Amino acid sequence: MKLVRYYEGTEICPGLLDGAGQLRSLSGEVVDITGAALDAATLARLAAIDPEQLPLVAGTPRLAPCVGGVGKFMCIGLNYSDHAEEAGMALPEHPILFMKATSAIAGPDDDIVIPRAAQSVDWEVELGVVIGRAAKYVSEAEALDHVAGYCVINDVSERDYQTKLSGQWTKGKSCDSFGPLGPWLVTRDEVSDPQALELTLDVNGQRMQAGSTATMVFSVAQIISHLSQMMTLHPGDVIATGTPPGVGMGMKPQPVYLKPGDQVRAEIAGLGVQSQNVRADS
């Protein structure tokens, strides 16, 4: 299934895409697409519904983040061998973890807002993993059983905040609008191999990033297993699994960063497309 959250006025409603790509309402079936709706029994019940029997949603409503009520927004750094090379950094021995504030979460087509005085806002297309069943001390072999689904994430980053303001990377990762999720939450059964997905990102129509999850240093299963040794992963938690090469910070002969008026398009094969306009904060 491709689960969607969309706006009716200021209210966020649950939905899904039917076989023709039309948006159907799930408001009569679940309250929202949150961790509480991502258990196996609920997903199986939704999957058994004939989409043709669900109400069509008129028009093209604004899309909300594809999962609501996120408890933890976890990110894995330097998780593509070719991205670590462009950053001039050694491959990590264990997954590098940093947290992104949940207040950074935005819809897939919402504006990227450049904070006041920021000069180094960068892009990072990433595979997002959404937990569906609590995971604690799980093995790599059973890790994917705890996944509800996958989505596109743009791990927008302010590089000066990230590297020059002391402390942790979280400062440069957590600005408002820096965590667009979606457009869809694609359930695990539709992704046969999370390590065989193509990722791309364009800025103003120019291809900047093109990569594959096949070049991840740590697989999705390894990441989930590793994190679960230290903390319980709860339904609705989100993991951004790292980015392939082509970020603005790594451009030669000098970095290239986002500016007001730019347009960003991020895509993962089978998981949909995000499109964002860039603007300055007021």
Please, are residues 210 and 223 in contact by the beta-carbon 8 Å criterion? no
Up-side HSE of residue 262: CA atoms within 13 Å toward CB?
Answer: 19
CA dist., res. 243 & res. 267, Å (int)? 12
**How high is the pLDDT of residue 50?**
97
Please, are residues 190 and 151 in contact by the beta-carbon 8 Å criterion? no
| Stated pTM of the model | 0.96
CA dist., res. 21 & res. 256, Å (int)? 36
User: Residue 253, preceding bond cis, omega within 30 degrees?
Assistant: yes
**What secondary structure does DSSP assign to 193-227, as a single string?**
-TTS-EEEEEETTEEEEEEEGGGBSS-HHHHHHHH
**How high is the pLDDT of residue 87?**
72
Q: How far is CA 252 from CA 115, 122, 177, 255, 260, in A?
A: 25, 14, 27, 6, 22
Strand partners, 147: 131
**How high is the pLDDT of residue 88?**
75
CA dist., res. 131 & res. 188, Å (int)? 10
CA dist., res. 50 & res. 40, Å (int)? 18
CB atoms near residue 59 (< 10 Å): 7
Please, are residues 67 and 151 in contact by the beta-carbon 8 Å criterion? yes
Token pair belonging to 161: 């905040």
Burial class of 99 by CB neighbour count within 10 A (0 to 12, 13 to 18, 19+):
middle
**Would you give the DSSP letter of residue 247?**
-
- The domain 73-280 belongs to what CATH superfamily? Fumarylacetoacetase-like, C-terminal domain (3.90.850.10)
**How high is the pLDDT of residue 104?**
98
**How high is the pLDDT of residue 85?**
75
Token pair belonging to 37: 């709706």
**How high is the pLDDT of residue 208?**
98
Backbone phi and psi for residue 266, each to the nearest 5 degrees, phi listed first? -120, 140
**How high is the pLDDT of residue 242?**
97
Q: Where are the domains of the chain?
A: 2-53, 73-280
**How high is the pLDDT of residue 32?**
98
Burial class of 58 by CB neighbour count within 10 A (0 to 12, 13 to 18, 19+):
exposed
Could you report the average pLDDT of every consecutive run of 10 residues in the chain (282 residues)? 97 97 97 97 97 96 98 95 76 94 98 96 98 98 98 97 85 96 98 98 98 97 98 98 95 96 98 98 92
